[in-house]
Amino acid sequence: MLAALQATTGAGAPGAFAVIRDHGDQESTRSLAVGKADLDGTPMNSSWRFRVGSNSKMFTAVLVMQLAEEGRIDLDKPLRDYLPEGTLPAGWTMTGRQVMEHRAGVYDHTNDLLEQAGEETTSAFEARIRSTVYDPRDLVAMSVKHGIQYTPGSRYSYSNTDFVLLGLAVEHLTGQPYPEVLNERIIQPLGLRRTSFVVPDRQISGDHVTGYLTNDDRSKPLLDSTEQNGSWVWSAGAVISSAEDLDHFLTALLAGSSGGLVTDASRDQMTAALPTPTAKISYGLGLRRISLSCGDVYGHGGIVQGFQTQSFVAPDGHRSVVVFANASNNGSVTQGLMNALEPAFCGKKPTAAPRTNLAPRSDLRGTGSAYELPVVEDTRI
């Protein structure tokens, strides 16, 4: 674990941390922090807030599942039926389920915002991300211009636009702004005191880690990217939270009916993950499944300018792990965080901590820091 976190700082992140929580008869929390929370030298603090990036997709997915439980959306009917008129063309019949699984053929609008030939990442950030406020319908329009990328349901391709569409469906079906629905249905009921959605405001209130965007030209300094509005990823990536709140959210989600977020049936649908082209990585309804040497874990990753997080929980909810680093646009930092998951879940546990029911897997090899997980496909945001 320490070696994996040190690898992230050695690769260029100012700091990193891991928080491991065991739930059951004897609760325990262990945290390990290395490096700095900012370039002024403040030590990294694992209790502070940060931008969670694509971990936001889990929150949006829960809202959609709640609406499905209420009979307000059928996941196996075209999603366009549950969106404002004109959001998607008439011929776009991909279902809500296909959209949640990233199997809908929807082009990722963030490609248009980030992948500009000959332009440095920091320049793109300043020109189109930090201060520009986008209407989510305009993000969808960006995607629609590219047409359907493949026959819906035929393959997997990660797309942030998928979860912008789901956020628009949440607003259309409830008649409320997305932040209000998120607050009323998840944040308040779970008591997530450090979780918020403040788009288009740019600041992170309270104690928080400073995020740094790595320049494409590594000879240039890191860019403080903490202050940014999240409208360019909106319901796909703009949540602000903390390790403690992510643990609370994830353990409640995996608990199903007893967790108060979704029913057992909904939880089971969300965790019924299908394979992706990346080895050991599968994707369900807004949840990623990673196959470790000791079994599968569920959660998501998130990378948004200056911040990256991997948040996962064991199927029985007994152990959750949140690993974080305050630098992005650096694949070696991402690899370090991915490599921290294996020792966090599968390494020797304190005798006081309850065991998870993760079953050994004979098809996986390696333990500890030698067990290297592939970097997942949402590494750019």
Residues forming the active site: 54
Q: Which residue in this structure is represented by tokens 């006081």?
A: 352
CA–CA dist 9, 12 (Å, integer)? 5
CA–CA dist 97, 92 (Å, integer)? 14
- Torsions phi, psi of 101, nearest 5? -90, 0
Instruction: Provide the β-strand partners of residue 309.
Output: 302, 324
DSSP string, 98-121: HHHTT-S----THHHHH--TT--H
Give the burial class of 85: count Cβ atoms within 10 A of its Cβ; 0-12 exposed, 13-18 middle, 19 or more buried. exposed
CA–CA dist 236, 126 (Å, integer)? 20
DSSP run (H or E) holding 325: strand 319-325
Whether omega for the bond prior to residue 354 falls within 30 degrees of 0, making it cis, is no
Token digits of residue 258: 């007893």
- Residue 332 to residues 5, 10, 311, 335, Cα–Cα distance (Å): 11, 9, 18, 5
Contact 300, 58 (CB under 8 A): yes
